A and B are shown apart, each in its own frame.
Chain A
């Protein structure tokens, strides 16, 4: 994601500075040494990282909980449709907490800075469906939970011996002289970067 963002930034800068044609920009972007992202994006939908796997899983569970429980929707005071997860101030709504409690998986706060940045970036659409997470970067499996027990915290936790498919390409790229970087999303602050490194190391 970060790589993609940098690339699009570079492209935008190019567009602005010299008013070059579309083809030269595309050529510039194609033939420059590039970063490739293994996270799901518009050009590589099948690559998946440990972190995004986890977040997808959480998101799926949370959404299934929402759709399943009609009582929850009836109790929802914030909106008529789907419950919103974050209120305008960035705090978790009652809906969100109820869903997370029913899902029985750990829910965590995000670092306030990151949240405010995200909310400032998208004023009309708060980062509603990201799973709120912070974890202890020193542990492989366990994490600091807000309200759940340790067993619940471990539920669905992505283990380090699960090897992420399709990242052997990265090793090829590095050995051919390509520039490969490591980046992680903000959902799993602290541990995400370690996971990405471990994932790269798992490639042959």
Chain B
């Protein structure tokens, strides 16, 4: 498959399959959850791991560190498995 076909499978087709009409492509009216990459995955599909920015839920994150950079600057809080492998904390939501 060409990289474009693969990317279409990964994004637009998936949203069609689960019938999420506001996801899957960059269009006016859709949700802007984006991944911004350094190199074009259209040249080589293995460039999909060169993630630079991640936009999620109206917040912009740095791909390398997961620090939030927009709208406010916030460092990533330590995750439980960095220090304590044994005891995961239950999700506080």
Interface, chain A (partner B; CB < 8 A): 3, 6, 35, 89-92, 108-109, 112-113, 115-116, 134, 137-140, 146, 160, 170-171, 174, 179-183, 191, 193-194, 197-198, 200-201, 203
A118 to B82, CA, bound (A): 21
Nearest CB on B from A190, distance (A) = 9
A48 to B89, CA, bound (A): 33
Q: Report the contact-size class of chain B (Cβ under 8 Å from the partner).
A: 20 to 34
Nearest CB on B from A130, distance (A) = 14
A191 to B49, CA, bound (A): 8
Nearest CB on A from B9, distance (A) = 5
Contact B88–A109 (Cβ < 8 Å)? yes
Contact A179–B17 (Cβ < 8 Å)? yes
Nearest CB on A from B18, distance (A) = 7
Nearest CB on A from B67, distance (A) = 15
Interface centre among A6, A160, A181, A194, by most B CB within 10 Å?
A: A181
Residue of A nearest to B88 (CB): A112
Interface, chain B (partner A; CB < 8 A): 1-3, 5-7, 9-10, 13-14, 16-18, 45-46, 48-51, 63-64, 80-81, 85-91
Contact A109–B64 (Cβ < 8 Å)? no
A182 to B16, CA, bound (A): 12
Contact B45–A201 (Cβ < 8 Å)? yes
The 5 closest A-B pairs by CB, nearest first: A109-B81, A112-B88, A201-B45, A182-B10, A91-B86
Residue of A nearest to B64 (CB): A138
A112 to B88, CA, bound (A): 6
What would 16 A/B residue contacts be, using CB atoms closer than 8 Å?
A112-B88, A116-B91, A138-B49, A138-B50, A138-B63, A146-B81, A171-B5, A179-B17, A181-B10, A182-B14, A193-B10, A197-B7, A198-B45, A200-B9, A201-B2, A201-B6
A51 to B44, CA, bound (A): 20
A171 to B4, CA, bound (A): 12
Interface centre among B5, B13, B49, by most A CB within 10 Å?
A: B49
Asked if A200 meets B51 with Cβ closer than 8 Å, knowing A179-B16, A181-B14, the reply is no
